Amino acid sequence: MFDDFLVRAAFAGLGVALAAAPLGCFVVWRRMAYFGDATAHAAVLGIALSLTFSAPMFAGPLVVSLLMAILVTSLSGRCFAMDTMLGVMAHSSLAVGLVAVSFLSGVRIDLMAYLFGDILSVSTNDLLVIWVGAAIVITLIASRWSGLLLSTMNPDLAHASGFSPKREQFILTIALAIVVAVAIKVVGALLIAAMLIIPAATARPLSKTPEVMAVVAVIIAGTASLGGLQASYMFDTPTGPTIVCTSAALFLLSGAVWRIVNAFGRNEQSA
């Protein structure tokens, strides 16, 4: 079954969708879009570290993404605003990673595959890493759902209910680092943030509760992954960017549907 590269690619896309979509809801609710982008950019430096020390390819991005997220969280507000700190750290780590890769001698690397993804080359081992990572992220989010949601909506109420907003933020940081590490093979470091944000943003106007939004986001992300893979195969386009384009098309479609439904509702009320 897994000898077919398209089947492996489809399962890889679904695994990333399952992990990224519910986490992306918290990214949207907390307005952490730039935070996710910065963490993903830092993963390029992790790739260089993995190649330097002959470590598993997901290990370097996981460690660097986690360190980046913790560092930015701890330093923000002390000297610079959060967006300034994220901008400096994101672009610096991306540049350092690209320069570090160029210094690696005796290593042949397709840098474009790590920047924009290479889902069609996913191996069975890659697939195992993706789904194990997705299972860890889903377990973290499901087990801490009440604390994460309450800390997102009202930190003071979370304190009163016995939850620590800082601890919940750290859990989100760990989950984000895992998603970045496992998604690099599928959509690449430059497009991971899109898979976090776009499905969640698409699901938002179509959902009445946070739980429904998370489920709808997973469905949208899975549809975008499979639809983008099919379109890439049909039109011979880069698969990672095509998946993101499909996700963006669904975002535009959901916005149009939401406006039509609202307009129809207003007409019904006026009548």
pLDDT at residue 182 is higher than 60: yes
- Residue closest to 146 by CA, chosen among 133, 162, 131: 162
d(CA 241, CA 261): 30
Structure confidence at residue 2 (pLDDT): 46
pLDDT at residue 3 is higher than 60: no
Residue type at 267?
A: N
Mean residue pLDDT across the chain: 87
Q: pTM of the predicted model, to two decimals?
A: 0.89
- Which residue range forms the structural domain that includes residue 238? 5-270
Band of residue 66 on the pLDDT scale cut at 50, 70, 90: confident
pLDDT: which is higher, 75 or 118: 118
Q: Residue 71 corresponds to which tokens in the numbers above?
A: 């560092």
- Residue closest to 219 by CA, chosen among 240, 239, 194, 247: 247
d(CA 157, CA 268): 38
d(CA 197, CA 209): 18
Q: Which residues contact 255 (CB under 8 A, 6 or more apart)?
A: 205
CB 9 within 8 A of CB 120: yes
Band of residue 201 on the pLDDT scale cut at 50, 70, 90: very high
Of 71-75, 153-157, 216-220, highest mean pLDDT: 216-220
CATH number at residue 104: 1.10.3470.10
pLDDT digits (tens, 9 = 90+) for 254-268: 988 888 888 776 666
Output phi, psi for 154, to 5 deg.
-155, 95
Structure confidence at residue 94 (pLDDT): 84
pLDDT digits (tens, 9 = 90+) for 168-181: 988 898 899 899 98
d(CA 237, CA 195): 18
d(CA 171, CA 169): 5
d(CA 37, CA 88): 12
pLDDT at residue 75 is higher than 80: no
Phi-psi label, residue 239: left if phi above 0, alpha if psi -120 to 50, beta otherwise: alpha
Q: What integer is the mean pLDDT of 22-50?
A: 86
pLDDT: which is higher, 264 or 98: 98
pLDDT at residue 108 is higher than 90: no
Number of domains in the chain: 1
Span of 38-42, 123-127, 163-167 with lowest mean pLDDT? 38-42
Structure confidence at residue 107 (pLDDT): 62
